[in-house]
Structure formats: C-alpha cells, structure tokens
Amino acid sequence: MNVGKGLATNIALDDAVLDRSMEFRAAPRVTHLMPGEEAKLPWRVWVRARPEDAIGEVPSADHDFVISTQLGQNIDGLEITIRYSSIVGTRYETRLRIRKGSAVVVDDIRDA
C-alpha cells in the first residue's frame, strides 16, 4: 500500500533469498501506485525440494500456495527491499525484515 501523499512510480522488489530451498527474483515493475492504493508486487518464485535438486520456477498461478506453505515454516529474518520513485523523480529504498510474521522497517532511504 502506498502510505505516502504522492504518486509512487517504478515500484520494484529486489531479489531475496530465503535459503537454498526458495528464492524470490525480481519481476516486472509496478508502473504507478496512487496514495492509499494497494497492489500485489510481482516476484518470480523459485524453489527446490531438496538441496541437491536444481532450482525451478513456480508457475505464477501457484505462487500463493507455495509461498504460504514454504514461508510459514521459516520466514524470520528474510529481508525485502522495495525501490520506487516519486512523481518528481526522487528515488526511495525501503528495506523490511520479517520478524515473528510481521514486516519491520529496517531502513527508509530517500535519494537512494
């Protein structure tokens, strides 16, 4: 959700690695988000069943199921970085860390 007062543009998630079993990789950016508007930010989800298996991409239709079953087991400590710009071109970077099932803001940097 855009909790700011202005339009957020070019919103993207950085790659995030939970462990060797699951990775989240960048997907196309969300072009814009109005103040108060919500959007599900896209990620490409990659998993492997066993450490020795090759990693494979999960079809987007299965993302919610795979994420909820895998992440429910051990998400604490996962770091998520969101990058976006304002309508006037100021760049921002917000870094979140998952703690006990909730996202906590670690850094919120302007002109990143």
Report whether pLDDT(10) > 70. yes
DSSP states along 48-87: -SSTTSPPEEPPGGGHHHHHHHHHTTS-TT-EEEEEEEET
pLDDT in tens, 63-107: 677 666 665 556 778 888 999 999 999 999 999 998 877 889 999
Query: 42-60, pLDDT tens digit by residue?
Result: 888 888 888 788 988 888 7
Give which of 45, 65, 66 is closest to 56, Cα–Cα: 45
State the pTM of this model: 0.77
